[in-house]
Amino acid sequence: MHLEILNFVLLLGILGAPQQQPGEMQLVLPEDASTAKDERRNHFKLYARQLELYDTYTKDKPAIRLEARKFLQHAIANESGIYFIEEPLVIEYKHLTKMGQAVFDAGSRDPLFRAYYAHTLMDKRWYSTAESNALSAVNKILREGYHPAAEAIARYTLQLVVYRMGSIGNVNKYHPGLLRLVPKYFEWATEEPDMQRPAWSDFIRFTKHARFQHKVSKKMVKAYEEMPGKDPWLMAMLKGWYHLQLERNGIKDVEEPQGAQDDASQLNLAREYLRKAWALHPDYPEAPEMMMHVASLGGDEDSFEIWFQRAVEGQIDYWPAYESMLKYLRPENGGSYEKMVAFGEACARTDRFDTLVPFYFTIATEQIQRGDANFEFLSENVPDFYDKWRYSLLKLAEHPSRTIVSDRQTGRLSRPQRTFYTNILAMALMTRNYDDAEHFWKLIGDEFYEKSFADYDLRKKYHWSEIQASKSLGEPLHEALDLLELPNSIKKTKQVHDVFTKLKNQNTNEEADYFLQSIIDIAQKELDYESGKWVDLEFSPDLAEWRGPANLFKVENKNSVTASNIKKYKYMYLYHKGSFRGPKEITLELEPKKVISHWLYAGIHIGLCANRGQGSSGIAFCADITGDGVFVGGGYSLPEKIPLKRKVTADGNSFDYSNRLHLKAWDNETFELFVNDTKIDLGSTGHGSAIPFDMVGFGSGGWRRYMGEIDYKNFRIRRLTEPRPVNKQQP
């Protein structure tokens, strides 16, 4: 069936016959189109051919080849992207790492083995060892020879390792060697039929983390063009990709005889080649998805919505097309949150629960919550929002393709089920559907999906206690919770303190006390702050008084936490739930324990709002631990060195010192910062806002460049009574 998008006249501006209720969009997906499951299987078939390369080229001793080959079978399955519920060869990385270690100890030094062994080491975050294995694999191939496809895999692994270590310079250094091999990789992949899409998917992975280098890319395109057996579709895609990169990077080039001296010319050339690729294979989604970008810039007569249709006609759940659709429907790109919701609802109404298409209702609404809008926008503008959220996630979890148990033996929930159920639980708590929350909590047991749990700021003890408080207190609790939504003021704080104290005295459920007392404690801290006292912002065992990814913090005692993002790439920020109005004075001690990345910073943050652990707006005052510097705001570096105390251990990674940050903030533009009692000249960053900064927190960045472990101690705050400095240049 041909896909139709109906009623785009009202919502997205393209032609269609309205068949739904006014204001609704409908997606009717083609029943005979391929799905991601089909493509994962195809990709796995391509990767499995690498075993033939090992059999042909390895110099391993015969006695260890069987075990090395067995390891490669599992490792290749894991890295191919196929799901464990679709392929028994996919196993947990902890088992795979042990298997690889045994093969290595037995003496295998085969380059293909070492490349995949490096992948397993990355999962354990043993980056130095992974880098050593990947580099050894590349060097051995250069010395002794191997198939170019294996060299491409080894070079991609090396590039991925240094990227995850945060060494972007080395990513760009190694990238040309990988691009040089792309034509040979394409040639190897297309020796078998129907392997164009897996080959193209690998090319996108090869280029994902590196800076576009147009001269090297130009040589790569030319080299493939000169191959006698080149695939026409891959050739057209490669040229379309090249000219899109030129346009995106603002690079002028005369690649074509007619010349291309501006962005418009590059866009026209990209359009020409991508339309050619689409004509060659209208059953492939990649060219239409890339054409969505061309169309969004006015480079094609067809709109990006029409190109979305064509993409999902090739694969109904081709996620890059859905991601691009949401991107172009965002308000900053000329769309609106209403259009994003309409698209998400249309995805949910497809009822294709054998795919992840209905999940885009969840993704769309999550993106809205992380934007300028908030949860109130959804609850006010999406009728029956929670029911729609629950229905689509429940149907996804209950589909037979996802009910296979995670380890095939113990009867545990599968990972997809844990993911969907945890998302339902989170929204049930946000919408105060406490009966549902309790049901799914018991259904999940201890199998919460950690990412969703952290993204929604869930705390096991705190939120279970909230559920019990609702059962115990009923409507009076709901009315009290409404108080928390009022604008911040001293009157509100006193009222919250009194009302929740009364509720706690009335409560008969002991499990509910923790939730009620946490709210009382937060209000008491606000009152103490208003009275001018120094307030210790303490840490309960589950960080109930804090927002942020609690899974990255270990509570040492009530005054100290250790933050670690060595295994998870997340922002290591915590924000206190209290509101501390007006001029404030903050002190914090920090003690780095382990530094993995090339740049690690940590410090105090004052901001407007935190978005479910994803970061916040505001200003950071941070010590650059590895560089002895300070930066303020959104990364504005200050040249002045600061006297950080340090004692570096023999391995160069572990640190043993404590530093004290002392911040005075009169308003959102006037600050003084002291590091170990040395005043820092903040200069002027031009960062400021007209809205008072009431929220305070601490932490460090969460990208791969900022991996490490840091102890934070004695986070204290009080109302600042010193007069505001006069004629000071401030951030």
> What pLDDT score does 668 carry?
74
Helix (H, G, I), strand (E, B) or coil at 169: helix
> What pLDDT score does 14 carry?
31
pTM: 0.85
Query: How many CB atoms lie under 10 A from the CB of residue 323?
Result: 15
At residue 142 the predicted structure's pLDDT band, cuts being 50, 70 and 90, is very high
Element containing residue 717 per DSSP (H, E)? strand 708-719
| Lowest pLDDT segment from 4-8, 241-245, 422-426, 692-696 | 4-8
Q: Give 15 or 87, the one with higher predicted confidence.
A: 87
- Alpha helices by DSSP H, 507-587: 513-530
Q: Give 728 or 678, the one with higher predicted confidence.
A: 678
Residue type, 73: Q
Report the pLDDT averaged over residues 262-278. Answer: 90
Largest distance between two CA atoms of the chain: 83
**Which has the closest alpha carbon to 229: 270, 191, 256, 262?**
191
How close are the terminal C-alpha atoms of the chain, in Å?
Answer: 59
Question: Do 621 and 665 meet the contact criterion of CB atoms below 8 Å apart?
Answer: no
**Which sign, positive or negative, has the C-alpha torsion 698, 703, 704, 706?**
negative
**Which has the closest alpha carbon to 621: 565, 689, 673?**
673
At residue 5 the predicted structure's pLDDT band, cuts being 50, 70 and 90, is very low
Q: Check whether 8 has a pLDDT greater than 80.
A: no
**Which sign, positive or negative, has the C-alpha torsion 150, 153, 156, 158?**
negative
| Lowest pLDDT segment from 243-247, 286-290, 447-451, 659-663 | 447-451
Give me the half-sphere count of Cα atoms (radius 13 Å) on the Cβ side of residue 709: 11
Q: Which two tokens stand for residue 339?
A: 């259009």
Question: Do 11 and 23 meet the contact criterion of CB atoms below 8 Å apart?
Answer: yes
- Main-chain dihedrals φ then ψ at residue 6, nearest 5 degrees: -95, 150
What average pLDDT does the structure give for the chain? 84
Question: Do 454 and 551 meet the contact criterion of CB atoms below 8 Å apart?
Answer: yes
Distance CA 578, CA 642 (A): 31
Report the pLDDT averaged over residues 117-145. Answer: 92
Question: Do 591 and 556 meet the contact criterion of CB atoms below 8 Å apart?
Answer: no
Report the pLDDT averaged over residues 206-232. Answer: 94
Q: Which residue has the tokens 């801290």?
A: 525
Helix (H, G, I), strand (E, B) or coil at 547: strand
At residue 87 the predicted structure's pLDDT band, cuts being 50, 70 and 90, is confident
> What pLDDT score does 2 carry?
34
Q: Who's near 301: CB < 8 A, 6+ residues apart?
A: none
At residue 370 the predicted structure's pLDDT band, cuts being 50, 70 and 90, is confident
Q: What is the DSSP string of 331-398?
A: GGGT--HHHHHHHHHHHHHT--TTSSTTHHHHHHHHHHHTSSS-HHHHHHHSTTHHHHHHHHHHHHHH
Distance CA 341, CA 347 (A): 10
Distance CA 302, CA 295 (A): 7
Residue-wise pLDDT tens digits, 667-719: 877 888 888 887 876 654 444 443 457 889 988 764 445 567 788 999 999 99
**CA angle, residues 170, 171, 172, in degrees to nearest 5:** 90
Residue-wise pLDDT tens digits, 158-173: 999 988 877 778 889 9
Q: Which residue has the tokens 């792309």?
A: 182
> What pLDDT score does 677 carry?
81
Report the pLDDT averaged over residues 600-620. Answer: 59
**CA angle, residues 337, 338, 341, in degrees to nearest 5:** 85
- Could you give the percent of the chain with pLDDT greater than 90? 59
Report the pLDDT averaged over residues 344-355. Answer: 93
Distance CA 489, CA 523 (A): 11
Residue-wise pLDDT tens digits, 494-524: 999 999 999 999 999 999 999 999 999 999 9
Report the pLDDT averaged over residues 34-58. Answer: 95
Question: Do 253 and 218 meet the contact criterion of CB atoms below 8 Å apart?
Answer: yes
Residue-wise pLDDT tens digits, 543-596: 999 998 888 899 999 999 998 876 555 567 899 999 999 999 999 998 877 766
Count of residues in the chain: 731
Element containing residue 112 per DSSP (H, E)? helix 111-123
> What pLDDT score does 634 carry?
43
Distance CA 529, CA 523 (A): 10
Q: Which two tokens stand for residue 581?
A: 């109005």
Q: Check whether 613 has a pLDDT greater than 70.
A: no
Torsion of CA 463, 465, 468, 473, to 10 degrees: -100
Q: Who's near 76: CB < 8 A, 6+ residues apart?
A: 47, 48, 50, 51, 89, 116
Residue-wise pLDDT tens digits, 519-538: 999 999 999 999 999 999 99
Q: Give 566 or 108, the one with higher predicted confidence.
A: 108
Q: Check whether 405 has a pLDDT greater than 50.
A: no
Question: What crossing angle do the helices spanning 513-530 and 460-473 adopt, rounded to 10°?
Answer: 100
At residue 28 the predicted structure's pLDDT band, cuts being 50, 70 and 90, is confident
> What pLDDT score does 372 carry?
63
Report the pLDDT averaged over residues 400-407. Answer: 62
At residue 259 the predicted structure's pLDDT band, cuts being 50, 70 and 90, is very low
Q: Check whether 17 has a pLDDT greater than 50.
A: no
> What pLDDT score does 569 carry?
54
> What pLDDT score does 32 carry?
85
> What pLDDT score does 73 carry?
96
Q: Give 83 or 201, the one with higher predicted confidence.
A: 201
Q: Which residue has the tokens 């003890």?
A: 461
Residue-wise pLDDT tens digits, 278-330: 999 999 999 999 999 999 999 999 999 999 999 999 999 999 999 999 999 99
> What pLDDT score does 617 carry?
53
Q: Check whether 610 has a pLDDT greater than 80.
A: no
Distance CA 159, CA 171 (A): 5
Residue-wise pLDDT tens digits, 225-246: 999 999 999 999 999 999 999 9
